[in-house]
Structure 1
Amino acid sequence: MAFPAPATRRDLYPEIEAYQTGFMATDSVHEIYWEQSGNPDGIPVIVLHGGPGGAVNPGMRRYFDPAKYRIVMLDQRGCGRSRPNASLEDNTTWTLIADIERLREQLGIDKWVVFGGSWGSTLSLAYAITHPDRALSLVLRGIFLLTRPELHWFYQDGASHIFPDAWERFLEPIPEDERHDLMGAYYKRLTGDDAAERDRCAIAWSSWEGETVSVQGPDARPDRFAEADFAVAFARIECWYFMNGGFFPEENWLLNNVHRIRHLPCWIAQGRFDVVTPMTSAWALHRAWPESKLDVVPDAGHASSEPGIIDSLVRGTDWAAGL
């Protein structure tokens, strides 16, 4: 159901610093950056960033009441401060889930709230389905089920009709005779040996997403989406996951297995005008999980920084803390 917009919207909690940071070894080449902030004795929450290939940032701590939450964040394999950067080796949904579990055990946490938006919602759902006994509840934003229709909409034909100006810039690095399969054309270049072409395509791929996240349009693109240091990891890892169907064993694996977590409380924040992860996916998840709370934000797109999304997520984390 859609809740009525509150008379006064909630804002982010004050800025806080991490009280502990570190790197976690894995059973592969990867070392995972992690941090903790908030109340060491509070309700544990794991924060799963988007992309795949994005990164955590200090602003993500501010969706949580620091007096109530023990906020755990990590940079997923190949991105952010995790090492090696932009690596696709042993980088799958299942190795990320193994990293989350390894970190939970390392920190001595029994169960935690699972928080994620966009690809972070995908990973949150996959983690909870795989380890339902380790989740207290879920707080999700911009539902992405990583299905072929969603990918076709955003990377081939769909969002292009709403943002034709940004779409022209996305098309520009790819020759016309390869544009019938844009993900494949980008993948070839993002994983190729030509570093200059890789960087150019990474910035174009990343900028396309950055220019469409907000209802304000391309002018609201976050600066980092056009910076090579961020874009290369973001684009390479996203394209790698998308070309491989998220490494799920079947299409609609998340919806087909949602019965494993229907007993868990879940809050879904979804922008009505989200072009990156359109509302059809949040609606499908809510239909499959009618016990979930679907909060449709009437004046928002995909960005977690939009006022209505901030309001919904802060209310969602407060709700999860009061369960």
Structure 2
Amino acid sequence: MHVETAGNPNGQPVLFLHGGPGAGINGNYKWPFNPDQYFIVAFDQRGCGNSSPFGSLENNTTKHLIDDIEALRKHLQIQSWTVFGGSWGATLALCYAIAHPTHVKQLVLRGVFLARQQDFDWFLQANGGAAQVYPDAYEDFISQVANRTERPNMRSAQITQRFYDKFASENTQVSTDALNAWFNWEGAISKLLPDSHLSAQTASNQQVKSLALLECHYLQHQCFIPENYILDNVQALSNISTHIVHGRYDMVCKVAAAYELNNALRNSQLFIVDNAGHSASEKGIKAKLISIMNDLAKSPLN
């Protein structure tokens, strides 16, 4: 497991959980945190970034990642920490906090993904949410695995299975085209204003493979948690201060999920950023996350 630390070793500990699954930290995890106030911990989750073996799906489940986080906490001798995660990182942060609530001081979540069937369908299906707004980008995506007749009725499980089969193809061109298509679909819908830089043409082959392969792996297995697991277990989070930031026009993770989570929690705040989509790099989301972390550094909880 590749681990990096930054900031003040005597500062308030904060764990950064990257998204994807498979996105890796890519050195881009320090910006939300004042380095004088925080001891920042980040790691590449199994199968991605500089962790090894790269691209491995063996023993790569949500439970394994939760165990990795807890092992890291013990190794660093941290009693409790703030856990910061976006998108899949928010999912993992919630699952970790449910499993180990006494070791989580606060949660800061961006682009909430609750890993329910409706959330998978929103992202993957022709009749989901994202495909209705980006039908042109969706056609480029789904054409890799389905003809025009099949597309309207294909379920999320069929889509992930067909992509997985293509990823595993011995034909390098087939697997590369499928990996690129998956990566480009998420990139196309990640910002309020589409960004041509979020594409397989500008990313490294390693980034493309790990995000597409691991994301498909986790979605294919419903993120290895039961349906509605997070909302069914929110009572475990009742003593954890939670701060949620979500773009109004998030096409990867629908804003309704963040709204439902906030309503289910006893000790949370939801900030809906009206001029943003999914990406943490969008101006409004970035500013709100930095503001929250600066405020939390002054909180009596710390």
Identical aligned residues as a percent: 39
* Aligned mates of 1:312, 1:183 — CA distance in 2: 34
Distance 1:193 1:222 in 2: 24
Q: Distance in 2 between matches of 1:223 and 1:43?
A: 37
Which residue among 229, 232, 237 is the counterpart of 1:256? 232
Deviation at 1:290, TM superposition (A): 4.1
Measure how far apart 1:220 and its partner are.
5.1
Q: How far apart are the structure 2 equivalents of 1:241 and 1:175?
A: 21
Secondary structure of 1:60 counterpart: coil
1:203 and 1:227 in contact (8 A); partners too: no
SS at the partner of 1:81? coil
- Does 1:208 pair with 2:185? yes
Residues in 1 aligned to 2:201 and 2:34: alpha-carbon distance in whole angstroms:
27
Amino acid at match of 1:58: G
Q: How many Å apart are 1:262 and its aligned residue?
A: 1.6
1:161-200 alignment to 2 at 5 Å? Answer: 161-176=132-147, 179=151, 180=154, 181-200=158-177
How far off its partner does 1:58 sit?
A: 2.6
CA displacement at 1:131 relative to structure 2 = 0.3
How many angstroms does 1:226 deviate by?
5.0
Read off the aligned partner of 1:166 and give its amino acid letter: A
Give runs of aligned pairs for residues 260-271 of structure 1, distance below 5 A: 260-271=236-247
Aligned to 1:91: 60
Q: Could you tell me which amino acid in structure 2 is paired with residue 273 of structure 1?
A: Y
The CA deviation at 1:223 is: 5.9
Match of 1:61 among 30, 35, 56: 30
1:159 paired to 2:130: yes
Amino acid at match of 1:208: W
- State the shift of 1:194 in Å: 3.2
How far 1:229 moved relative to its partner? Answer: 1.9
Runs (5+) with no aligned partner, structure 1: 1-31
Aligned letter for 2:272? V
| Structure 1 residue 153, shift from structure 2 partner | 1.2
Q: Report the Cα distance in structure 2 between the residues aligned to 1:128 and 1:235, rounded to whole angstroms.
A: 26
Query: 1:233 maps to which residue?
Result: 210
State the secondary structure of the residue aligned to 1:238. Answer: helix
Partner of 2:269: 293
Q: Which stretches of structure 1, 4 residues or more, deviate above 6 A after TM superposition?
A: none
Query: 1:275 and 1:269, CA in 2 relative to 1: closer, same or farther beyond 3 A?
Result: same
The alpha-carbon distance between structure 1 residues 225 and 78, as it changes in their structure 2 partners (threshold 3 A), is farther
Q: Shift of the alpha carbon at 1:203?
A: 0.9
Moved more, 111-120 or 51-60: 51-60
> How far is the alpha carbon of 1:38 from its aligned partner?
0.3
Contact 1:203-1:226 within 8 A present in 2 as well: no
Q: TM-score, normalised by structure 1?
A: 0.86
Query: Partner amino acid for 1:235?
Result: A
Query: Partner letter of residue 37 of structure 2?
Result: K
Q: CA RMSD in A?
A: 1.6
Question: Deviation at 1:161?
Answer: 1.5
Q: How many residues align?
A: 291
Query: Normalising by structure 2, what TM-score?
Result: 0.92
Offset at 1:118? 0.1
Residues 214 and 300 in structure 1, CA contact (< 8 A), matched pair in contact too: yes
Question: Quick one: distance in 2 between partners of 1:311 and 1:277?
Answer: 20
Structure 1: how far apart are the matches of 2:103 and 2:168? 36
Within 1, Cα distance between the matches of 2:44 and 2:207? 13
Number of the residue aligned with 1:319: 295
